[in-house]
Amino acid sequence: MSTLYQRFTLFCLILATALTAAAQQPSFSLVQPRAVVEGRNFTLTFRLTDGDGNEPSAPRLENCTLLYGPSTSTMQSTQIINGKMSSSYSKDFSFVYRADKAGSVTVPSVSITSGGKTLHSREATFNILPDDSPASSGGQNGGGARNSSGAQQQVGNINADDLLVRVSFSKSSVYEQEPVVATIKVYTKYDINSFLVTTQPAFEGFLCEELPVQLEMNLEHYNGQNYHTAVVKRLLLYPQKSGKLSVNSGKYDVTLVQYEAVNMGFFRTSRPVEKTVTTSSNAATLNVKPLPEPRPAGFNGAVGTFTASVSLEPELLKTNEAATYSYIVKGTGNIKFLNEPHIDFPAGIDTYTPKNDIDTRVSGANMTGTFRTDFTIVPQEVGNFTIPSTPFVYFNPDKNEYVTIDTRDFDIKVARGVSTSAVASEQTTIDKSIKDILYIKSTSGVTAKGSKGYVFNSTIYWLAYILAAVALVTVVLVYRRRIRLNADVTGRKLARAGRVATKRLKEARGYMNSHQNDKFYESLARALWGYISDKLSIAPSQLMRDNIAEKLEAYGASSETAAQVIDVLDLCEMARFTPVHSDEEVAGLYAKAVAAIKSIEDVRTK
């Protein structure tokens, strides 16, 4: 019985494998070729997956000579995951060519017949790089580097041209707030064992957003030499002011691997030798154009392409019941750094501090997402109201023009809701079973002594009249002061700077407690920059590391406080590019930022 069960199980497995293979459709593709060097041989590989077919013909490549091919190799694998069996089969056809002349090469589509069907590969392109220039070649005097073919040279001196770190921009000229990608790339002729950043390039005058990087080596021709290159960092930058913005050079400690020849008697071999060198990146410059003048009314710094809309939930309102008015901006550009809109709500509707919800993602060399501002409103009066349209104005750098989007007016009708005050009525009945409440006796026809029945002749009436008049004057004065404070935008920012900073620091503390260090540093830096901008009444675009100390001392803060603020900002910026820090270091940085803000709050201006 056991043998019969084993045979049945084996039959099921074979049948499942056959059905899986029958269900898979064959495919034919080209393995993407990499850049090659002029005069070197390279391999072009086509892959047939889950099928069998005839050998394809060798494609004709411009500026290349076919040496031999195709040579074939096969690979088959079977795996079982959660009781499900899957298998794959592939067959590679490889052709060997010689790169005769530098330039771009297009690989045409190649066809193959498999299972009675004709399959085609896609077209692809790759570059043939010129050979190293003898005049600028550092490998002649120095050794240990890899030459164009990848061969290991002997140990020798390391030249400046053998290891480079470059900072480059994706565009040479942009508008204010228009995104540009900065790339930090290492060029080397050696194997690299370690790469340590000692001083990061300073991107002053920019708002930065780090982009994901795939660490892979490529071959690139630069300054007459061929280098193995790798991107170590990519940043999405938003310039905050016009003019020529420069990126200061960074410093890096790099451990390179050279190879020393070793005589083993009957044969020779090589062994790796490590050397640590310090190198600096270049100082890159970007031309930032100012936004065209005059700037239209309502423009608040949005640059890109956007759409705007508003919504109200619920649309049927009642007094003393809350509703949410939402202002929604979607699009591509500096959407993460937009400012909340100013809505002129009609009198009779109370509003509360708006809440911003930002959802963004990086799309290519730009940022796409949604910036949503929710206003909580509570109607206090019955009637018909209109929440006026608030246009959204942005600058489109592609069309070099300002665009205005008109949102809809909201006509709302407010019905009477649940009253918050109880109406007193004369007690006419009482529950006899209630023992802890005394019966309230009602009286009628009682008048004040000597009043002849007229209430306005009483002292209480005139006292109430005077109190009402004083209350009215007080309300008018308070209302006028509120109007004056609302008109004073700078004063409001100054008054709420500390509260906003506390809220932002709370967010940073949450990231610290959850050990999300990257988000902690970004949130802490944003909180400190925003606090200083509000406290000193300086626009973010005009606030830089160089003028913080001057502005703080003019405000009345001590030089020690200014130095402490700059130190926290530098540590936040540095920490975003360095390895993981301990919990004690993170907590110490947070405490230092709190102490800096407290020192500024303690300043009493004259």
Q: What is the predicted pLDDT for the residue at 10?
A: 62
* Span 571-594, average pLDDT: 75
Q: Residue 308: pLDDT band by 50, 70, 90 thresholds?
A: very high
pLDDT for the residue 286:
93
pLDDT at 425 over 50: no
Indicate if the pLDDT at residue 128 is higher than 60: yes
Q: Please write the tens of the pLDDT for every residue from 21-49.
A: 445 688 889 888 888 988 899 999 999 88
- What distance in Å separates the CA atoms of residue 591 and residue 524, rounded to the nearest whole number? 11
pLDDT computed for residue 427 by the predictor: 38
Instruction: Name 104's bridge partners.
Output: 127
Q: Say what the pLDDT of residue 177 is.
A: 93
Which one has a higher pLDDT value, 461 or 47? 47
The pLDDT value recorded for residue 429 is: 38
pLDDT of residue 495: 54
* Angstrom distances, CA of residue 71 to CA of 41, 58, 93, 283, 346: 15, 11, 6, 49, 80
Average pLDDT (227-241) is 91
For residue 98, the model assigns a pLDDT of 93
Indicate the range of 299-303, 314-318, 415-419 predicted with least confidence. 415-419
* pTM for the predicted model, two decimal places: 0.56
**Residue 442 pLDDT exceeds 50:** no
pLDDT at position 534: 78
Q: What is the mean pLDDT of residues 214-237?
A: 87
Is the separation of the CB atoms in 64 and 44 below 8 Å?
no
pLDDT at 460 (0 to 100)? 83
Average pLDDT of the residues in 38-64: 89
CB 293 within 8 A of CB 282: no
- The CB density around residue 208, as the number of other CB atoms within 10 Å, is 15
Q: Quick one: how far is CA 501 from the chain centroid?
A: 21
Amino acid present at 140 = Q
Question: Which amino acid is residue 45, in one-letter code?
Answer: T
What backbone torsions phi and psi does residue 581 show, to the nearest 5 degrees?
Answer: -100, 160
What crossing angle do the helices spanning 517-535 and 545-555 adopt, rounded to 10°?
Answer: 50
- Range name among 236-250, 359-373, 397-411, 555-569 with the lowest pLDDT average: 555-569
Query: Which percentage of the chain shows pLDDT scores above 70?
Result: 80
Q: What is the pLDDT of residue 148?
A: 44
- 497-548 pLDDT, tens digit per residue, is 567 777 778 888 888 888 787 788 888 888 877 887 777 777 766 667 667 7
> Which strand ranges, in their side-by-side order, compose the sheet holding 191-199?
191-199, 251-263, 268-280
Give the lowest-confidence range in 24-33, 124-133, 141-150, 575-584. 141-150
Identity of the highest mean pLDDT range in 31-35, 260-264, 329-333: 329-333
pLDDT-derived band at 335 (thresholds 50, 70, 90) equals: very high
CA 338 to mean position of chain CA atoms? 13
Average pLDDT of the segment spanning 441-466: 61
Summarised one tens digit per residue, pLDDT across range 163-210 is 889 999 999 999 999 999 999 999 998 888 888 888 888 888 898 888
In degrees and rounded to multiples of 5, residue 11 shows phi and psi of: -60, -40
pLDDT in tens, 65-106: 999 888 898 887 777 777 677 777 888 999 999 999 999 999
Q: What is the mean pLDDT of residues 223-227?
A: 87
pLDDT at res. 52: 81
pLDDT at 154: 55
Length of the chain: 606
Task: Provide the pLDDT for residue 243.
Answer: 92
Confidence grade of residue 5 (pLDDT, cut at 50, 70, 90): low
The SS3 of residue 502 is: helix
Specify the pLDDT at position 449: 47
Query: Would you tell me the crossing angle of helices 489-513 and 459-487 to the nearest 10 degrees?
Result: 80
pLDDT value for 437: 55
Look at residue 46 in the predicted model and tell me its pLDDT.
92
Whether the predicted pLDDT of 140 surpasses 50? no
- Cβ neighbors of 564 (< 8 A, separation 6 or more) are 592, 595, 596, 599
| Residue 490 pLDDT > 70 | no
Averaged pLDDT, 439-462: 57
Question: pLDDT at residue 343 above 50?
Answer: yes
Q: At what angle do helices 517-535 and 559-575 cross, to 10 degrees?
A: 150
Q: How confident is the model at residue 14 (pLDDT cuts 50, 70, 90)?
A: low
Q: What is the mean pLDDT of residues 553-573?
A: 78
Reported as a pLDDT band with limits 50, 70 and 90, residue 486 is: low
CB neighbours of residue 328 within 10 Å: 17
Specify the higher pLDDT residue, 15 or 263: 263
Burial class of residue 387 (count of CB atoms within 10 Å of its CB; 0-12, 13-18, 19+): buried
Closest CA to 325 of 391, 375, 380: 375
Mean predicted confidence (pLDDT) in 392-401: 94
